A and B are shown apart, each in its own frame.
Chain A
Amino acid sequence: MDSCNCIEPQWPPDDLLMKYQYISDFFIALAYFSIPLELIYFVKKSAVFPYRWVLVQFGAFIVLCGATHLINLWTFTMHTRTVAMVMTTAKVFTAVVSCATALMLVHIIPDLLSVKTRELFLKNKAAELDREMGLIRTQEETGRHVRMLTHEIRSTLDRHTILKTTLVELGRTLALEECALWMPTRTGLELQLSYTLRQQNPVGYTVPIHLPVINQVFSSSHAVKISPNCPVARIRPAGKYMPGEVVAVRVPLLHLSNFQINDWPELSTKRYALMVLMLPSDSARQWHVHELELVEVVADQVAVALSHAAILEESMRARDLLMEQNVALDLARREAETAIRARNDFLAVMNHEMRTPMHAIIALSSLLQETELTPEQRLMVETILKSSNLLSTLINDVLDLSRLEDGSLQLDLGTFNLFAVFREVLNLIKPIASVKKLHVSLNLAPDLPEYAIGDEKHLMQTILNVVGNAVKFSKEGSISITAIVAKSELLRDSRTPEFFPVPSDNHFYLRVQVKESGVGISPQDIPKLFTKFAQTQSMATRNSGGSGLGLAICKRFVNLMEGHIWIESDGLGKGCTAIFMVKLGIPERLNEPKLPLMPKVPTNHGPTAFPGLKVLVMDENGVSRMVTKGLLVHLGCDVTMVSSSEECLHVVSHEHKVVFMDVCVPGMDGYEVAIRINEKFTKRHERPIIVALTGNTDKVTKENCMRVGMDGVILKPVSLDKMRSVLTDLLEHRVLFEAI
């Protein structure tokens, strides 16, 4: 509507519409001018707008549009040509700019749109990364918790601490409301509440072990969610509205035997404990997977820690037990030693005390026998003698046995005639045997050596004992004694598998068999025969008159002689055979006649113990000199006597083996003589042995003698036996330092 552009803007009353247009244009112009202002303002503020050029264009476009509308205001009324010109210019410009802008926008709008999508994409990505981060963080935290828990659990070997720590730490890590551990009872039929987190002293709730929910938990190695209403979870007083989720996991109770060296512990163990964890009530928390994993790992660790603790407890207990046993054993040993000592003391005393009166009784009874007696008296004396001999034998037996057991008895080795021993036994036994009308026969093998080295006395005692038993227990029949040299085939007797005798060049094994056809022994009694003081029923009925020690002593002697003794019997009424084997030495080939003269060590009752031994005796006192000479002559020595030190030094030569000098005579210095003799004979083997005879037993004398180099001191008066033993010792050892 082109109205006339009058100068005066007068409103024609019927152009209401014009008025409205006028107002709208005004506002449009206003807006169009303010929009770019706002844009500029905000663009200036923001830093990231990449399209400034577009904005400028747009701004220009809008400004021009606004200008156009503004100029439009003047065109409602009559207007001049200038206004029309301006208007036209503005419109032209506006048209140009708008077209340019439109063209520009075609390029720009897709870009702007893609920015938007990229922004959206980035936002999504950021959200995703956040989530992942959260996951990793929780995982790492879980790992940290596990490590910490493990460290806490494994830092102690005390079972209670382990379990308590586990519960505490788990409670803390997972922010649990309650955490409980149920252990199986001894019977294995129930689970008992052993530890809880919040309650201090859990009263012994028990729950039967074969509930389905418990079985479910036990059969899986993972943590299992269970209902808060099941018995194991209902340990706290109810009162909350929404109990939190509950999870249960099994804790295997491993045993030492589960840990094989090569295999990993097989979980064949059927014993599990149950750990129950409850999240706080009234919270919306749920069990997350990582938390369950944490719980499982912890359960495993606890199992291992518990087994370690159990092992430790076990070994501590074993060690304590061992220590106790040690102490007890030590005490027992000491008591035994005390007992043995007491017994030995007792025996030593009794030895002397018993033998002395026995000796007196026997000696005087035998003397009494020599005197004139009436037949009655003689009978009485003989009985006394017999009884006392028996008693003496008994005492000797007991004392022998105890010495044997102590191991203090040693064999008296010497060369003896074996045949003679057997003949002697036969002679001793023949009278008794003939009284009982028993026939005794002796068979000695042709290859049995006539002489042997061994303990003659004890061998005879053994043979006598065995044969004597045979005679004692046979009522009728015959007894045969056989002695052979044991050959190697025979040596391995099936009945004595532990006895492996090995003959050698110097030794042989003598096997003696005594067979009797008497009452026999039942097989179960045979082992008892060799025990001390034990007598079987059959034996006790006879008045055996023995102490029951005989065979026990024989066994000890035979063992000492490195042999073996045993008895065979085919049963009651079938007689029995006693067999023993002992090891004897074979003497070297020597001329037979010289044998009896070979000196037996240490005692010799023959006159010539030291044949031809040249001895020098120095003593001022005539009587004592004569006595000493007598002693030494009696022992077979060749004695030279001197009565002064000068004479002694003059006479002494390397032929003299021993020099006896009296040192207790004041005024004559025996010590001086000793020193001079030492000087005279520089070589030790040429020097005679120097022995001092003195009446003083004090230390000073002894020390002086030692100082001057004497080899021995003897206290006067000297008995024959003492002199003999002194000489023996001296010649053997060249030194003797106390024969006092």
Chain B
Amino acid sequence: MELVQIQRRLVDYTKSLFMEGFLDAQFLQLQQLQDDSNPDFVFEVVSLFFEDSEKLLNELTIALDQPNVDFKKIDSHVHQLKGSSSSIGAQRVKNACIAFRNYCDVQNIEGCLTCLQQVKQECYLVKNKFETLFRLEQQIMASGGSVPTTELGF
């Protein structure tokens, strides 16, 4: 049945995201919080994340362009980004943020710029992944099925 196929594909896709390190266990927690009283919880949180991250990334770009780089401000932004990404389980973004912070601590502008690029890249990637995920879910919901919960004993 097609529904079953889509469901299977969703499960496989989710698993692959975990395998590739895009997502970690925190994402599962988010999924658990989604229930009948809160059906779009995950979607809302992820959307909020991307809004926030876009704003933050813009700020970071501007800040690093300045002649006198304010590392404190950069650090605080990166901290925010790190917090948000770890809240939704975007593992690779979080790791990139950690690296970014290290360069920030030693006030290495070159390093910071590299990291910024990396963070942007990761955010972009994970955004795409999420979009695919949500599309699959929508398809399932449209076909009248229920989204299978990811259960991994790993």
Interface residues, chain A, CB within 8 Å of chain B? Answer: 356, 359-360, 363, 367, 371-372, 607, 620-624, 626-627, 630-631, 633-634, 662, 664-667, 695, 716-720
- The 5 closest A-B CB pairs, nearest first, are A623-B84, A359-B153, A624-B87, A627-B87, A630-B33
Are A623 and B49 interface neighbours, CB within 8 A? yes
Is B2 close to A, CB under 8 A?
A: no
Among B35, B37, B48, the residue within 8 A (CB) of A623 is B48
Measured between C-beta atoms, what is the minimum distance from A363 to chain B in Å?
5
The answer to whether the Cβ of B29 comes within 8 Å of any Cβ in the partner chain is yes
Instruction: State how many residues of chain B have any CB contact under 8 Å with chain A.
Output: 35
The residues of B that contact A665 with a CB separation of less than 8 Å are 76, 79-80, 83
CA distance A627 to B153 in the complex (A): 23
Interface membership of B30, Cβ < 8 A: yes
Q: For A630, what are the chain B residues with a Cβ–Cβ distance below 8 Å?
A: 30, 33, 38, 41, 45
B40 to chain A, nearest CB (A): 11
Contact B86 A695 (CB under 8 A): yes
Cβ B33 vs Cβ A626 within 8 A? no
- For A367, the chain B residues whose CB sits under 8 A away are 11
State whether A720 touches B33 (Cβ < 8 A): yes
Please state if B45 and A626 are interface contacts (CB–CB under 8 Å): yes
A414 to B49, CA, bound (A): 42
Count of A-B contacts judged by CB separation below 8 Å: 89
Q: Which of B26-66 contact A (CB under 8 A)?
A: 26, 29-30, 32-33, 35, 37-38, 41, 44-45, 48-49, 52
State A667–B80 Cα separation when bound (angstroms).
12
Extra A-B contacts (18), CB below 8 Å, given A631-B33, A665-B79: A360-B153, A371-B4, A607-B35, A621-B80, A621-B84, A622-B48, A622-B84, A623-B87, A624-B86, A627-B33, A630-B30, A634-B32, A634-B38, A666-B79, A695-B86, A716-B87, A719-B29, A720-B29
What's the minimum C-beta distance from A693 to chain B, rounded to whole angstroms? 10
Closest residue of B by beta carbon distance from A632: B33
Contact B48 A371 (CB under 8 A): no
Give the secondary structure class of B's interface.
Answer: helix
User: Known contacts being A622-B48, A627-B88, is A633 close to B25, with CB within 8 Å?
Assistant: no
Nearest-neighbour CB distance to chain B for A352, whole angstroms, equals 12
- Residues of chain A within 8 A of B84, CB atoms compared: 621-624
**Nearest A residue to B51, CB-CB:** A622
Sample (28) of A-B pairs whose CB atoms are under 8 Å apart: A359-B153, A607-B35, A621-B87, A622-B84, A623-B49, A623-B83, A624-B84, A624-B86, A624-B87, A626-B45, A626-B48, A627-B30, A627-B33, A630-B33, A630-B41, A630-B45, A634-B32, A664-B79, A664-B83, A666-B72, A667-B76, A695-B82, A716-B83, A716-B86, A716-B87, A717-B26, A717-B89, A718-B29
Q: Are B38 and A363 in contact (CB under 8 A)?
A: no
Cα distance A348–B97 when bound, in Å? Answer: 36
| Residue B137, interface by CB 8 Å | no
**Shortest distance between the CB of A360 and any CB in chain B (Å):** 5
